[in-house]
Amino acid sequence: MIEPFLILATRSCVGYAKKVVNAIRRNPERLLLPDGFDYTEELSVLQFADGEMEVVLHNSVRGKTVFLFTTCARNEAGLSVESCKQELYHTIDVLQRSQAKEIIVFEPFISCSRSDRTTRRNSVGLWIHYKTLISLGADHLITYQLHSDKSKTIFDPCLCAVDDVPAISLLQRYLCEHVFMSTEKMNTFYRDSLLFCSVDAGGEKLAKGFASAFGTQLMVAHKQRSLEKANTVECINLLSAVPLKDKIIWIIDDMIDTGGSIYGLIQELSARECAEINVMIVHPVLSEPAAARLQELKDKGMIHRFVACDTIDCPATKRELSFMEVIESTTLSAHIVLTISLDRQMAPLIDGFSPLEYLERNGPFQES
């Protein structure tokens, strides 16, 4: 039996949730839901003078599945990471107390995902976040592109199901439509002239997946980080089977934070006389001074395209970086919500995307 569901959002993710709701309403599969679905903004936050808060729910969720959209990263409400987490935890508590049947937390980007292991005497942010969600009563967690596959060893599916949905299909679809555009170009011109590049050894698997999918060469950048200062790279070594001169480079990574790694890498590639250097990421974290670094590279003609998904709120960054292109993820998020609500398998959304099949079925595309 298909149960009715409700979509809610914390203050940090209201705009994103509304786009997901609109995408669901445009999707004909919504007609398979006998009781439809509801979207409500009936959550409010009481902020006390001493900094404490309470979240108030103004309508009933008894017996309903609730998709709670939230983010603790940069957000439309301008809330800090700490405020976002506090509000999220309070919201799950009020949903549990209001006897929601199932609480599904949809967090497009988990901001603490890089803190996923112990290397010395340090806390593990992802573990703390996950354990807090479980203890409060979250039943299911959905996110895009966790920082590392090793992160998944933290999760216990017996306590809380986790779906880490790859955003690779969104990026590869963009490349099909705006770069390769046809199977002929992919199999001839780009096969020898384009390379996918990882920012570091840890990102090799991601970049290698792109090189394999499009049948091109792979380059790996090995960076030596400073042991004294965080977010600082001392030197970069490039590993490539072919000369880089006159090649089109697409740097692939899951995120950019301060931009230190990408800044040094692009300068190194530019010195190798590459024809074109492009950057494609999933999560545009873009902490200071990332935007200034990217703009400097653009002004110097070192970077051609910069593409990112909207898993983190982008409007302010888009105004600062006018050349930034944003891939929307809300249609895929809507599809995920419908897939779960209709009790269908997630495999088609998680399994690999085939650029060749996509171009054969939908191409050729025209230059925009």
Decide which of 226 and 46 is more confident.
46
- pLDDT band per the 50, 70, 90 thresholds, residue 232: low
Own/partner long-range contacts of 197-205 (Cβ < 8 Å, ≥24 apart): 197/221, 197/249, 197/250, 197/251, 197/252, 197/265, 197/269, 198/251, 198/252, 198/253, 199/223, 199/251, 199/252, 199/253, 199/261, 199/262, 199/265, 200/261, 202/148, 203/252, 203/253, 203/254, 205/149
| Secondary element (H or E) of residue 278 | strand 276-283
Taken in order of first residue, the domains within the chain and their CATH numbers are: 5-166+332-348 (3.40.50.2020), 168-328 (3.40.50.2020)
- pLDDT band per the 50, 70, 90 thresholds, residue 227: low
Flag whether pLDDT at 188 surpasses 60. yes
CA separation for the pair 133, 128 (Å, rounded): 9
Over residues 122-152, the pLDDT tens digits come to 899 999 999 999 999 999 999 999 887 777 8
What letter represents residue 217's amino acid? Q
Specify the pLDDT at position 132: 97
Query: Please, are residues 67 and 334 in contact by the beta-carbon 8 Å criterion?
Result: no
Using the Cα atoms of residue 200, residue 205, residue 211 and residue 217 in order, give the sign of their dihedral: positive
- pLDDT band per the 50, 70, 90 thresholds, residue 36: low
Mean pLDDT of 332-348: 92
CA separation for the pair 29, 294 (Å, rounded): 41
Mean pLDDT of 295-300: 97
Enter the pTM of the model: 0.92
Flag whether pLDDT at 331 surpasses 90. yes
Cα distances from 299 to residues 98, 118, 186, 211, 266, in angstroms, run: 54, 40, 30, 28, 13
Contacts of residue 39, Cβ cutoff 8 Å, sequence gap at least 6: 6, 7, 17, 18, 21
Q: What is the mean pLDDT of the chain?
A: 91
User: Between vectors from CA 212 to CA 268 and to CA 174, what angle results, nearest 5°?
Assistant: 75
Specify the pLDDT at position 225: 67
